[in-house]
């Protein structure tokens, strides 16, 4: 499963898009696979969503 979360890391805001896994107690834990974006990178990604959607439709 993949989730998006917002967290504070050493005083910096990060937006995580990350795979999660379930531990033995049934709790979801963040995995190593994923990406952390700072707010500037997140805004750049959001600005390109329309172009990304267009590219996906063309495939």
Give the domain CATH number at 36. Answer: 2.30.31.10
DSSP E strand boundaries for the chain? 2-9, 12-22, 28-37
Lateral strand order in the sheet of 28-37: 2-9, 12-22, 28-37
pLDDT at 43: 98
Cβ–Cβ under 8 Å, residues 17 and 37: yes
Q: Is 23 exposed, middle or buried (0-12, 13-18, 19+ CB in 10 A)?
A: exposed
Q: pLDDT tens for residues 31-40? A: 999 999 999 9
User: ∠ at Cα 19 (13, 25), nearest 5°?
Assistant: 105
What is the mean predicted confidence (pLDDT) over 42-53?
A: 97
Total structural domains within the chain:
1
Q: What residues make up the domain containing 15? A: 2-58
pTM of the full structure = 0.76
């Amino acid at each position: 499963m993949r989730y998006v979360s917002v967290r504070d890391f050493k005083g910096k805001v990060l937006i995580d898009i990350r795979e999660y896994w379930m531990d033995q107690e049934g709790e979801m834990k963040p995995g190593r696979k994923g990406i952390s974006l700072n707010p500037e990178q997140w805004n750049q990604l959001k600005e390109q969503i329309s172009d990304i959607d267009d590219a996906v439709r063309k495939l």
